Amino acid sequence: MAKKYVYFFGGGKAEGNEKMKELLGGKGANLAEMAGHKDLRLPVPPGFTITTEVCTYYYKHNKKYPPGLKEQVQKALKRVEQIMGRKFGDRDNPLLVSVRSGARRSMPGMMETVLNIGLTTETIPGLIKQSQGNERFVYDAYRRLLMMYSDVVMEKAAGIEPKSEELGIRRQLEKIMEETKKEKGYKNDTELTVEDLKELCKLFKNKIKEVLGREFPDDPYQQLWEGIGAVFASWQGKRAVSYRRIEGIPDNWGTACNVQTMVFGNMGNDSATGVAFTRNPGTGEKKFYGEYLINAQGEDVVAGIRTPAPINEYSKSEYNKDQLTLEKVMPKVYKELFGYQKRLERHYRDMQDIEFTIEKGRLFMLQCRIGKRNGPAAVRMALDMYRERLITKEEAIMRVSPSQLEELLHPIIDPKVEAGCKPVAKGLPAGPGGASGQIVFTAEDAVDWVKEGKKVILVREETNPEDVEGMRVAEAILTLRGGMTSHAALVARGWGKCCIVGASNLSIDLEKKELQADSKVLKEGDWLTLNGSKGNVYEGKLPMMDTTEENKLLLDFLKLTDSVKRLGIRTNADTPSDALKARQFGAEGIGLFRTEHMFYGENSEKPLYILRKMICSSTEEQRRKALEELFPYMKDDIKQTLEAMDGLPVVIRLLDPPLHEFVPRDEEKLKRLAYDLAISYEELNKKIETLHEANPMMGHRGVRLGITYPEITRNQVKAIFTAAAELIKEGKHPYPEIMIPVVCDVAELKIQKRIIEETYQEVLRKYNLKRIKYMFGTMIEIPRASFVADELAKEAEFFSFGTNDMTQMGFGFSRDDIGSFLPNYLNQGILLVDPFQTIDSKGIAELMKIGIEKGKKIRKDLEVGICGEHGGDPSSIELCHKLGLDYVSCSPFRVPIARLAAAQAVIRQK
Amino acid sequence: MAKKYVYFFGGGKAEGNEKMKELLGGKGANLAEMAGHKDLRLPVPPGFTITTEVCTYYYKHNKKYPPGLKEQVQKALKRVEQIMGRKFGDRDNPLLVSVRSGARRSMPGMMETVLNIGLTTETIPGLIKQSQGNERFVYDAYRRLLMMYSDVVMEKAAGIEPKSEELGIRRQLEKIMEETKKEKGYKNDTELTVEDLKELCKLFKNKIKEVLGREFPDDPYQQLWEGIGAVFASWQGKRAVSYRRIEGIPDNWGTACNVQTMVFGNMGNDSATGVAFTRNPGTGEKKFYGEYLINAQGEDVVAGIRTPAPINEYSKSEYNKDQLTLEKVMPKVYKELFGYQKRLERHYRDMQDIEFTIEKGRLFMLQCRIGKRNGPAAVRMALDMYRERLITKEEAIMRVSPSQLEELLHPIIDPKVEAGCKPVAKGLPAGPGGASGQIVFTAEDAVDWVKEGKKVILVREETNPEDVEGMRVAEAILTLRGGMTSHAALVARGWGKCCIVGASNLSIDLEKKELQADSKVLKEGDWLTLNGSKGNVYEGKLPMMDTTEENKLLLDFLKLTDSVKRLGIRTNADTPSDALKARQFGAEGIGLFRTEHMFYGENSEKPLYILRKMICSSTEEQRRKALEELFPYMKDDIKQTLEAMDGLPVVIRLLDPPLHEFVPRDEEKLKRLAYDLAISYEELNKKIETLHEANPMMGHRGVRLGITYPEITRNQVKAIFTAAAELIKEGKHPYPEIMIPVVCDVAELKIQKRIIEETYQEVLRKYNLKRIKYMFGTMIEIPRASFVADELAKEAEFFSFGTNDMTQMGFGFSRDDIGSFLPNYLNQGILLVDPFQTIDSKGIAELMKIGIEKGKKIRKDLEVGICGEHGGDPSSIELCHKLGLDYVSCSPFRVPIARLAAAQAVIRQK
């Protein structure tokens, strides 16, 4: 017997269920569940799902279907026909179907759909009969079929690439329709008469033949199979592939194909279609929320062409408050829908995104899936559902993705400033936070401008999947049409990006590159500021600020995560203010304080100057003198940060970068330095020349400096112990952990440790102290360090993985130079993730594992952390958890995200 | 019972034996063997050895001796007294002893010795009695004791550092002696009378008290124990430590201390002392060879102060041919000695270095040890002894060290040129080969000049252990005094360095920095050329050449090694001439052919110019055109080398270096290039600027170029296959192995493999061939590659470890930049070996191991080799053997050494 490739659903029964997402795709699994589960049995139009295995087979076998598929489809179609009492291709009572893609994970708008399949010159009369003589509806449906089919099946799936968008079949057919409307003086499609539509269909068919070289197929089965093929083809479509890259969806998952009875929301004013959420996806409030359109097909809602109406009072906004609610217009249907949505949420134990259609007063549930939500909504829902006992604590924690949490940490417009500003436009708040940028009108421009280092706001009539790249790089997205379920809103919500949709008082003049806001004209390149949480658009660049501190929901949620996580979360902070901020965010110490930071930031001029004197010294004597001069700056810098982290550990890394980095480049400064060092300008230049390195990343840096110039180590350590001693005298509890960077052999550690211990004793004596609590440790960032970690652990009390450098050396990727090839590597899929974003699980993680195993073998209580930038990346945090690290360290703003990721890692491991 | 710390020998018995070198040191173990082994029982002056464990204990316990030592020494001393019938410290018949160091491995002249211990004001009369009234001899002995003891025990071992050499006690006593001689008008020490010596001893004692602040001890036991302490102290002396660094001897071995009855070669003209070798250490000939001095202490021979006489006719040289041989002067003693040496060689089954003393006509054997020899001698002895069936094949192979073999590969002066040159001086041929350099007169100057990149010949009256550093860096060493057993000769022989000693017609004026050669005057900085195999010194810089090809001994010896080794030996060769040379040396293929070499060497101007055009192209079209232009050059280059290695595999590496390396720097060339590319000079500069990288070693290079510019790979591979196809058509058997460099992920290999396979098919079609034998493989040089080696092995048929880059990235050491810290690391002992010389066994070897294990797990017949420069380093070769590699690859000249090292690795592993 052939393998089962086709799963039927409908009439209160289903062969599949929700758990079969891998096989049936998310849509197919949910249709089966809705149709067949005993707690649900919702009115789903009957149909069947062709499995993802068929897609995989199809691509593996040179676009051939597996044997037996045809028969299984035929059988399932028969069952549908029986339930519906209609027959596919029948001239009297024809069954029409849709063909839709449905991958394991939702890829909104990325793949193809063809509706009204089965409509042919033969079946048209039958459909007219079914629709009680609504001839206009039928020819409109035929017109839609011609447009969709020629585009999706005959052009795209066939791999025909038009020379320009203008020459694509869809655009050509649209032009014909526009011309007809113009000729007749119509404004809207709805004004087209039956005769107009009949004529249009004829023109369409001619054009299709002319452009694509073949007739539009008049055979229902040809339509069906070509439609199925087009769905599978769309899995490898450009847009879908690009979306998968961004979302990290594997190519080999494949898509399922859902064939389902057509129901029509456009059969008249007793018909409608809509989208709803069981809770508000923008705020998380436990309120039924949705939009609908009378006399429309489902795609009209998603596409945002007409502005939809609210389903109930709660769903009303500034922008649609004058329209009638579904609750008012069809109270009985609304009540039925309301009941179904409650049932669905209870069943799925999560907020559901529902598509429904009302055909001549009869409600059909077309789809349900877990609803996308923005960060604040995700946090609120998780907390609410946990408190409602709908879900467990662990589930609540897993309901918020790190990137959703990040949204709560987004800057917002400074409220005081905003209060005094009048918006130039208002729209729907589709993505949270505030953002400023320069206006661009196309996705291509967005990409180009951002490449030049600009920040842009992408302003579009409405967005479509072709705009995805531009949307991704933009600071924010602003559309003139569409609602909370439009393409722009869906995509932005997924990314947690600031977005406003449906700002309908605006208009765009693409030729002039102008944006008209009532009487005001804004040009390309002008600055806009968006409040994506309120839907307000402001002219100019308004100041931003953070609010996270006062967000009670966030604090409550993070408390949940802390009760689960095992990893400690520290921060990378070089200044007292960063340290304080991180502490507020929940940091449990500093994982990386870079001593050299004092030579980069504010107020660095004086210490930097002294450092340069030190670097360019010719004698140890000169160097010592400069170091003494530097001492008070170093001590104060360290002291302030130790104080800010009072009671918590602070990992202080000794001087790391190659000295050449600190040397001035401009002549004037060099001349002054030469004068101060009492050497000639030429001598100084010669000296600097000797500091130059071919590969500074692997040169004279880190502990190598401390070996060559032990006085540098001595001075830095003296500053650390002195700062701590002074704090102890002030009643504080400093806890420095002294960290040696760029170590490759234990002998380096031994030599540095001796200096540190001597200096420690000196400071103790000077301050008459018995003890200063401190630890001595090493970075593990040189690959070899991992292999000698057992020896290192004999000297070091803690390890901290410097995964940035370890990635550089492990891959042989100079971070400064990857621009010339890494983008290419990611695009070609040679690397699936940027190893500087997420720790490489094959090489770098193995190095870490070796280091940890060897280190802990020698020293059981060895403290192990990570201080590279990976410490704020959720996948990397999960890896660190699995490797048994004690803590991760990340930038202050990523501390909450790290707390969440650490908790999720625990739950995932269970 | 206390541990046994003291081992007695003498009177035909011994507690120790030859196998106890670790405990008794080399000297002590051999004394015990000589004295006690039933086949030997030679006349060794009785004594005892204090073990190396005492030395280790002494340094671990703050310079205290282990309990029980005193008693054990006392007991052993008693046995010696019984055998000799004398008593230590006895006023009538006193026993005198020497105290000498003796480490596991010989460290000639590096540690201290004190002779005549036990001579006090009380025992002097007794010794006079013993010597039958030779009062002069006794006071000379006392004078020697005073000089040696004050220097070695009272000054050096006490850690007193004189402000200058002039102020050292030894030099001060020497001055007193010189003054006395001057006063009296004496030329030689021998002219000093009894009264002179008595007076000198008095003056010496006063001076000692004045300079060192304490009396010379007149107690024999104080002398003994302080002498033992001085021997242990000398283990940590500056010279000894420095020698251990160079020779790689661990600090914790410690030295033993040998206390032995004094016998005197200076008791008159019936006494003598000498050094001999059972075979000629300079040529390997099976002839008894040695030197002796009448009426002298042993140290006089080694120090090279008096010119020694030959022991027999065979030992005569140009330079001592007029002196009487021992065979003539004391025929009976010579016969006895001759018998002993035969016995010793038969017993030890190796050439022995023997020290003997004749006291009043009675022969004593003072020491025997395995004799140092130069490379040619080592090879000849190994082969001879193997043929004599004295040793096995394996032993013969182990008898020649790789560095000794290297000596045979040393260049010599072009014989045709040399034939026409008259030497300015002649001396003893103490180190093989030829060398040219500039004259320097001090070891410090040698070090300084070499740092500046110069080549020097170190010219000294005689060398001493303080000169070791200077000797090491010099191209060759030339001394005016001393024989084949002098310090310079011993050290140079050990290193296989060109060396001539005893060039007595020369004289040095250190103040003027001049070297007088008869009537000629040479200045510091003038060039000299030495023939170290003949002992000839020439003025100027003579041309050098190789002789290895015709050395039958070498060929025979290498045949032996080949019958044992498992590893294949390939060569790194980029030119047909290198390939041919390597083949003559026994290379079994090419392990690394760098395609980029054609852009560096001779005749590279044209291809380099085209390459630059390619690099600076703005379009793929331009690049393609340049590549086509480049094609014939690439193809010919590869074809010639494939032909030179006909029938053997040739690993061809695709383009490796970052493109920036090939860009011209001078303006004129840049302008011409801009003109040819039809772009402005500014545009070209901009283009070049974008190629610049911060860390090019980890930048856009290797396979990353092949990914970004697949046309480069395609073109190179086409050149390879075309070259091979043409050769096949010419009846040859080319065997290219195509190697991808800088690989970090299997996806890179897949992409390159596809290009290679396509190109392969194209070339097959074009040349109408069925098959070209080739392999596809990858370098493993990026650390990550080792971790994904299992995946790589799915695509690659061979691995070649690029240990240069792996060391760079594994250590984070940029080879271009290590100058600023690596010397420091080696001096401080942070690293014991330069990891670019010898593969690091802790980190890099582990990476290799992981790579090999993972690779072979997937592909059992995976070919694994190494192509870094480590392939010519013996320790690294041993490592490669242990790791199970198939071959190593090294420069053509190191192929013989690699063959030997590969054979030794097999034997060592057994």
Whether the per-residue pLDDT at B415 is higher than 70: the answer is no
How far apart CA B44 and CA A534 sit, in angstroms, is 105
- For residue A505, the 8-state DSSP code is T
C-alpha angle with apex A209: A208 to A213, nearest 5 degrees?
115
Q: What is the pLDDT of residue A667?
A: 84
CB-CB under 8 Å, B783 with A847: yes
> Nearest CB to B744: which of A693, A700, A812?
A812
Measured between CA atoms, the residue of chain A closest to residue B844 is A784
Query: Alpha helix locations (H) across A94-161?
Result: 124-130, 135-149
Distance of CA A63 to the CA centre of its chain: 32
Q: What is the pLDDT of residue B304?
A: 61
Interval B491-550: pLDDT, tens: 786 566 899 988 888 989 888 999 998 888 999 999 999 998 788 999 999 988 765 555
How far apart CA B815 and CA A698 sit, in angstroms, is 9
How far apart CA B470 and CA B477 sit, in angstroms, is 9
Q: What is the pLDDT of residue A427?
A: 86
Say whether B744 is catalytic: no
Rounded to 5 degrees, φ, ψ at A603 are 55, 25
Best CA proximity match to B704, nearest among B689, B719, B693? B693
* Contact assessment for residue B778 and residue B825, using Cβ atoms and an 8 Å cutoff: no
What stretch of H or E contains B703? helix B703-708
Neighbours of A739 (CB within 10 A): 28
In the set A867, A880, A881, A890, the catalytic residue is A867
* Contact assessment for residue B455 and residue B475, using Cβ atoms and an 8 Å cutoff: yes
DSSP string, A262-275: ---TTSSTT-EEEE
Low-confidence ranges of chain A (pLDDT < 70): 1, 299, 301-305, 318, 415-416, 485, 493-496, 546-550, 601-602
CB-CB under 8 Å, A830 with B745: yes
Interface of A with B in 687-706 (CB under 8 A): 693-700, 704
| Residue position matching structure tokens 């690993």 | B651
Contacts of B814 in chain A (CB under 8 A): 693-699
SS3 labels along B592-618: EEEHHHHHCCCCCHHHHHHHHHHHCCC
Contacts of B808 in chain A (CB under 8 A): 698
Best CA proximity match to A51, nearest among A28, A31, A71, A74? A28
Interface of B with A in 765-784 (CB under 8 A): 781-784
Q: What is the pLDDT of residue B904?
A: 97
A interface mutation test: which of B691, B704, B794 has the most A CBs within 10 A? B704
Contacts of B818 in chain A (CB under 8 A): 699
Sign of the alpha-carbon torsion through B126, B132, B133, B135? negative
**Is B338 near chain A, with CB under 8 Å?**
no
Whether the per-residue pLDDT at B250 is higher than 70: the answer is yes
> Nearest CB to B698: which of A784, A817, A842?
A817
Q: Which residues contact A185 (CB under 8 A, 6 or more apart)?
A: none
- For residue A65, the 8-state DSSP code is P
The tokens for B760 are 């392969």
The total number of residues shown for chain B amounts to: 910
Q: Are strands A94-95 and B590-594 parallel, antiparallel or unpaired?
A: unpaired
Q: What is the pLDDT of residue B886?
A: 98
Count of CB pairs separated by less than 8 Å, A with B: 172
The tokens for B532 are 């170290």
Q: What is the pLDDT of residue B374?
A: 78
User: Which pTM does this prediction carry?
Assistant: 0.78
Strand partners of residue B887: B568, B865
**Min Cα–Cα distance to chain A from B826, Å:** 11
Q: Are strands A6-10 and A47-50 parallel, antiparallel or unpaired?
A: antiparallel
Q: What is the pLDDT of residue A430?
A: 82
> Nearest CB to B700: which of A693, A696, A820?
A820
Distance of CA B192 to the CA centre of its chain: 43
Amino acid residing at B837:
Q
C-alpha angle with apex A43: A37 to A47, nearest 5 degrees?
80
**Min Cα–Cα distance to chain B from A898, Å:** 27
Lowest mean pLDDT among A121-135, A742-756, B612-626, B840-854: B612-626
A interface mutation test: which of B691, B698, B805, B847 has the most A CBs within 10 A? B698
Measured between CA atoms, the residue of chain B closest to residue A825 is B707
Interface of A with B in 810-849 (CB under 8 A): 810-814, 816-817, 820-821, 824-825, 828-831, 840, 842-844, 846-847
Dihedral (Cα; A758, A760, A764, A766), 10-degree rounding: 70
Sign of the alpha-carbon torsion through A406, A409, A414, A418? positive
Interval B109-129: pLDDT, tens: 777 889 999 999 999 999 999
Measured between CA atoms, the residue of chain B closest to residue A703 is B821
Q: Compare B667 and B712 and report the one with higher pLDDT.
A: B712
**Min Cα–Cα distance to chain A from B856, Å:** 18
SS3 labels along B221-243: HHHHHHHHHHHHHHHCCHHHHHH
Q: Are strands B352-359 and B272-277 parallel, antiparallel or unpaired?
A: antiparallel
Amino acid residing at A522:
L
Strand B362-370: give its sheet, edge to edge.
B309-310, B289-294, B272-277, B352-359, B362-370
**Min Cα–Cα distance to chain A from B865, Å:** 21
Say whether A487 is catalytic: yes
Measured between CA atoms, the residue of chain A closest to residue B849 is A787
How far apart CA B414 and CA B417 sit, in angstroms, is 5
Interval B774-808: pLDDT, tens: 999 999 999 999 999 999 999 999 999 999 999 99
Counting residues of chain B whose pLDDT is more than 70, the rounded percentage is: 97
Q: What is the pLDDT of residue A436?
A: 94
The tokens for B342 are 């035969």
* Contact assessment for residue A259 and residue A48, using Cβ atoms and an 8 Å cutoff: yes
CB-CB under 8 Å, B751 with A816: no
> Nearest CB to B830: which of A748, A788, A830?
A748
Q: Tell me how far CA of residue B428 lies from CA of A173, A373, B478, B544, in angstroms.
A: 103, 93, 10, 20
Best CA proximity match to B37, nearest among B9, B71, B65, B58? B9
In the set B368, B867, B880, B890, the catalytic residue is B867
Radius of gyration (C-alpha) of chain B in whole angstroms: 33
Contacts of B828 in chain A (CB under 8 A): 707, 747, 751
> Nearest CB to B787: which of A781, A825, A842?
A842
Contacts of A814 in chain B (CB under 8 A): 693-699
Q: What is the pLDDT of residue A273?
A: 94
